[in-house]
Chain A
Amino acid sequence: MRLTTATAIAALALSSLGAMAQDKTVKIGNLNDMSSLYADVGGPGSTVAAQMAAEDSGLAAKGWKIEVIGGDHQNKPDIGGGIARQWYDVDGVDVIVDTPNSGVALAVNQITKDKNRVFLNSGAASSDLTGKACTPNTIHWTYDTYALANTTGKAVVKAGGDTWFFLTSDYAFGHALERDTEAVVLANGGKVNGKVRHPLNTPDFSSFLLQAQTSKAKIIGLANAGGDTTNAIKQASEFGITAGGQQLAALLLFLTDVNALGLNVAQGLTFTESFYWDANEGTRAFSERFAKRMKNGAKPTMVQAGTYSAVLHYLKALEALGGNPKDGAKIVAKMKEMPTDDALFGKGSIRADGRKIHPVYLFEVKKPAESKGAWDYYKLKATVPADEAFRPLKDSECPLVKKG
């Protein structure tokens, strides 16, 4: 009896060892805001994007089993952290993707490192993810506050907008965006007249806008995102702020925000993104497939596109490793070693600090007359090459860089 038990245990142990060596199962978790102000930017659309990447990787035909699940973090770091722990500890999730809301992202970043899994962030903006909070398990894919500040901020100051007032979302993301933009404004000879911090998900901005108005700053920098940005822009036009000579700088604006505002209100805004669906053949083809799978036919935002691109590269790395080693740091190291290449972001690479680099673009929202129809919203104003768009490695606070 004892012998059979021992044999059984040994056999079990051996079989599980065997399975580990050539494990070809992957579980991808899209941890997102599924129901609130960022749900259209990432949300369920990012689950679709991750699924499309899994299908396009062609791994299923090679015997891999890839599963994509989604979870709603409700923009609360404690809830997001709870889901991440549950996914890693109980549900066997290998990689968490997207995760807008920098507050949640920073929490997941740390948990992922502790559990040695992989965090491919597309939606969050804080440049701290590859700065002082960088880990060997996280890659920050699509954009960050440094790139936004460096592109929009610089362009606006160069165009004569040298006095600023910030409307800042009062959490990790807004603070990072304000800090990075302020640095760019000051470095380019501008000046900051004042700032006000508003709670996340504020329906009425009139009070804050009036404070911005009395500051007499030429530029009102919106260091917020999603519904907060659209409300602020809409109400600024209502209160005659733009008519009064002050300009809005939407430091972070997504395709779905422009769609929600309508071109009448949004026209003329300049902002920074790293992906636009109508850029070339590859992006158009992907976007068409994507829109067909979305309930409201929406084209992908850069966050959703980034999720696709990141998952695709992750799966390429797994294939190169010959199986899922279940070792987050090892997978991320492989991902950094391989150059990135896909139809959406073109060729690029991942730096030691976990920053994925590619060109970023300065866009302007078209006038209603210039738009050929739904989702035809952007005009390209400038392209910032990959090596100039993001924070230079020499300025990085990331410990991974200092050691290397």
Chain B
Amino acid sequence: MFGIPTQALFSQLLLGLINGSFYALLSLGLAVIFGMLNIVNFAHGALYMMGAFVAWFLLGYAGIGYWGALILAPLAVGFVGVVIERTMLQRLAGLDHLYGLLLTFGLALVIQGVFQNQFGSSGMPYAIPPQLTGGQNLGFMFLPNYRAWVVVFSLVVCIATWFMIEKTRLGSYLRAATENPTLVRAFGVNVPLMITLTYGFGVGLAGLAGVLSAPINQVRPLMGADLIIVVFAVVVIGGMGSIMGSVITGFALGVIEGLTKVFYPEASNTVIFVIMAIVLLIKPAGLFGRAA
């Protein structure tokens, strides 16, 4: 097809899906935070990086391997998120989006600066857990076990998150609280606590993505800064605050980017922004967003 062997096409589709799972996990966290808190969380990339670093610390200083990190790192990052929300973001409630954006952007620069000052820019190695080394020969490509794990695991996390927010009682409280916080409070629900925990959960997802990516990429202070802009484009394309939208767009754009790497590699880091521009022209609220 298109002068490219089918085998190559299949493998690139699969690779795109793998990269898309990172976009999906990160944009999911952003969408949850934007949907519930109305905050454009520019610190997301820095917290993603922090997740990877926590995994690295755990391994180096506490002897806790990948599987432990998969649970502990998101908790640690989520805790940092809770502190950030309680001490800073809470004070911005009710103000224009711009304030939250500037605050979180500043936070991201500070966090990245501190890590870079401490660890330099080339980063640290983090090995693939022994259970997931090696790979499967699928006939059309060699699929490393670890990458397969990443796709499956992030799909499960994305679906579970969507289910929790859209289908459970807790989720319905959350959604109600965004619509009308005063009324929900009147029913005896602790809305500020819920919002704090939501932010913690959202950035915890970023931390989780950080741990997932640690064995694939170097654990680098700027790993999040490189990714976050793309992820924001994904969120904008999917529609700000739309949970399902962000997940579907994340995977889809991963695939599109993967295909660009075959047909016109030079454009592979711009294609997402071109799509963003086109989508914004045609559907300003994003593909899955509802116009305000």
Q: A238-B146, A295-B118 are in contact. Are A227 and B220 (CB under 8 A)?
A: yes
Partner of A214, one of B8, B128, B220, B266: B8
Q: Give CA–CA (A213, B222) in the complex, Å.
A: 29
Q: Give CA–CA (A244, B117) in the complex, Å.
A: 39
Asked if B178 lies at the interface with its beta carbon under 8 angstroms from chain A, I say no
Segment with Cβ contacts to B, from A108-116, A137-145, A254-262, A326-334: A254-262
Question: How many residues of chain A are within 8 Å of chain B by beta carbon?
Answer: 45
Tell whether, in the assembled complex, residue B222 and residue A35 are in contact, meaning their CB atoms are under 8 Å apart: yes
A391 / chain B contacts, CB cutoff of 8 Å: none
Asked if A131 lies at the interface with its beta carbon under 8 angstroms from chain B, I say no
Tell whether, in the assembled complex, residue B8 and residue A39 are in contact, meaning their CB atoms are under 8 Å apart: no
Q: A238-B146, A244-B142 are in contact. Are A211 and B262 (CB under 8 A)?
A: yes
A227 / chain B contacts, CB cutoff of 8 Å: 121-123, 218, 220
A235 / chain B contacts, CB cutoff of 8 Å: 216
Asked if A226 lies at the interface with its beta carbon under 8 angstroms from chain B, I say yes
Q: Give CA–CA (A211, B118) in the complex, Å.
A: 37
Partner of A231, one of B134, B217, B258: B217
> Which residues 87-146 of B sit at the A interface, judged by CB distance below 8 A?
116-125, 127-128, 134-135, 141-142, 144, 146
Tell whether, in the assembled complex, residue A210 and residue B218 are in contact, meaning their CB atoms are under 8 Å apart: no
Q: Give CA–CA (A295, B121) in the complex, Å.
A: 12
A199 / chain B contacts, CB cutoff of 8 Å: 265-266, 268-269
B146 / chain A contacts, CB cutoff of 8 Å: 238
Q: A36-B222, A196-B265, A265-B125 are in contact. Are A203 and B120 (CB under 8 A)?
A: no
Asked if B276 lies at the interface with its beta carbon under 8 angstroms from chain A, I say no
| Nearest CB in chain B to that of A226: its residue | B122
> Which residues 2-24 of B sit at the A interface, judged by CB distance below 8 A?
5, 7-8, 11-12, 15-16, 18-19
Asked if B227 lies at the interface with its beta carbon under 8 angstroms from chain A, I say yes
| Nearest CB in chain A to that of B254: its residue | A204
Tell whether, in the assembled complex, residue B120 and residue A39 are in contact, meaning their CB atoms are under 8 Å apart: yes
Asked if A37 lies at the interface with its beta carbon under 8 angstroms from chain B, I say yes
Min distance, Cβ B215 to any Cβ of chain A, angstroms: 8
B134 / chain A contacts, CB cutoff of 8 Å: 240
Select the residue from B8, B120, B141 with max chain A CB neighbours within 10 A: B120
Tell whether, in the assembled complex, residue A260 and residue B218 are in contact, meaning their CB atoms are under 8 Å apart: yes
Partner of B122, one of A196, A203, A210, A259: A259
Tell whether, in the assembled complex, residue B265 and residue A256 are in contact, meaning their CB atoms are under 8 Å apart: no
- Closest 3 pairs between A and B when the two form their complex, measured CB to CB: A262-B125, A207-B261, A260-B122
13 CB-based A-B contacts, threshold 8 Å: A35-B116, A37-B121, A40-B120, A170-B265, A203-B223, A203-B227, A204-B19, A210-B15, A230-B122, A231-B218, A239-B144, A260-B125, A261-B125
> Given contacts A43-B121, A199-B265, could you give 19 more A-B pairs where the C-beta distance is less than 8 Å?
A35-B121, A35-B222, A37-B122, A170-B265, A197-B265, A199-B266, A208-B261, A214-B7, A234-B125, A234-B216, A234-B218, A238-B135, A238-B146, A238-B216, A256-B122, A257-B122, A260-B124, A260-B218, A295-B120
Q: Which B residues fall within an 8 A CB radius of A?
A: 5, 7-8, 11-12, 15-16, 18-19, 116-125, 127-128, 134-135, 141-142, 144, 146-147, 216-218, 220, 222-223, 226-227, 258, 261-262, 265-266, 268-269
